[in-house]
Structure 1
């Protein structure tokens, strides 16, 4: 299958630039297009804030996650529903255009991967370290603050969290920074217990 480049309808502007799993090449291209457009317009902070708010909505609202991933919806239904949500959240401009392009290309389901890839690209350009955090349930603001503080204590300063939910973890969390992996998930603890029991048998 040939690789797909982001395309836009005449009313969108994103194409003027070149469970969340790892970002695909496709998601990376959309994210890079959005980042380059934001830089051209000197609106990086505003676009990043809008996309963070949309990503947080996706993480925290099961109904919105279901809507984004529902393959039965046609483009018109996706556009009406998504734009109504964006309007209520006060999200417009480039991020709204991004959502429109994803819908036009039947790629709305890639929204969380695009948001994650954007955060990683921005962190890299700003010299930040990226910590990929997987949890069974979305982090609260308090948990996010506590985790950032723990990472700072461990020597990882100026860290940007890139979050995803993975219900199979059951509880706890898994944090990856570069080649380092910290796994305190319940799933991992249960697996270690099972291995220990097999060894004792």
Structure 2
């Protein structure tokens, strides 16, 4: 397996590695993954929870009480609950979303998957995502986990980023390149 340092870095990476290794040792990777996906959705859906997690105005005790209630409400695994308590105690709840992202990278690497960031002008349908996943898998030779994003400024087409490689076939980029080429004609 590739070194964790090659996959994630920084404070969020260190916490994600610690959680990953504890979950792996406890044979609870799937449960922790489910908890983190649920928690990420909860944070995205609730402005109050997002504020609790990122605002330095809440005291350590308030953050611990709040995140404990959230973990209990979500029926999270004991390891997840302890981890969230540790983050609150260390005043690192503001790193929670980057930690989740780093954990997802570690998990994908553990499964032998490659992560691909796909940005499109409109939300892709399940069929389009399945087709894209299949094509990327055949091109790369490994399973691909797609993180789909929408950016209406692209106008059309896709931007696909796999590792350090990027394929930009967006209409916006093509128009920008055309404008640059036209300036050279004048």
| Structure 1 length-normalised TM | 0.67
Q: List per-residue Cα deviations over 1:102-131 (Å, max 9, x = no partner).
A: 111111010011111111111112211112
Match in the other structure for 2:21:
36
Residue 190 of structure 1, CA deviation: 7.7
Residue 196 of structure 1, CA deviation: 1.6
Match in the other structure for 1:125:
110
Larger relative helix fraction: 2
Whether 1:147 aligns to 2:129 is yes
Residue 88 of structure 1, CA deviation: 2.0
Consecutive unaligned residues in structure 2, runs of 5 or more: none
| Structure 2 length-normalised TM | 0.72
CA contact (8 A) 1:23 1:116 kept: no
Mapping for residues 40-189 of structure 1, pairs under 5 Å: 40-133=25-118, 143=125, 146-154=128-136, 155=138, 158-162=143-147, 169=151, 174-183=159-168, 189=172
| d(CA) in 2 for partners of 1:38, 1:98 | 11
Structure 1 residues 188-197 or 63-72, which shifts more?
188-197
| d(CA) in 2 for partners of 1:55, 1:111 | 9
CA contact (8 A) 1:120 1:162 kept: no
Residue 35 of structure 1, CA deviation: 1.0
| d(CA) in 2 for partners of 1:99, 1:162 | 24
CA contact (8 A) 2:63 2:88 kept: yes
Match in the other structure for 2:179:
196
Residue 184 of structure 1, CA deviation: 6.5
| 80 and 105 in structure 1: CA distance in 2 versus 1, 3 angstrom threshold | same
Residue 57 of structure 1, CA deviation: 2.5
Q: List per-residue Cα deviations over 1:23-52 (Å, max 9, x = no partner).
A: 642111111111111111111111122112
| d(CA) in 2 for partners of 1:145, 1:65 | 32
How big is the alpha-carbon RMSD for the aligned residues of Structure 1 and Structure 2?
3.6
| 38 and 24 in structure 1: CA distance in 2 versus 1, 3 angstrom threshold | same
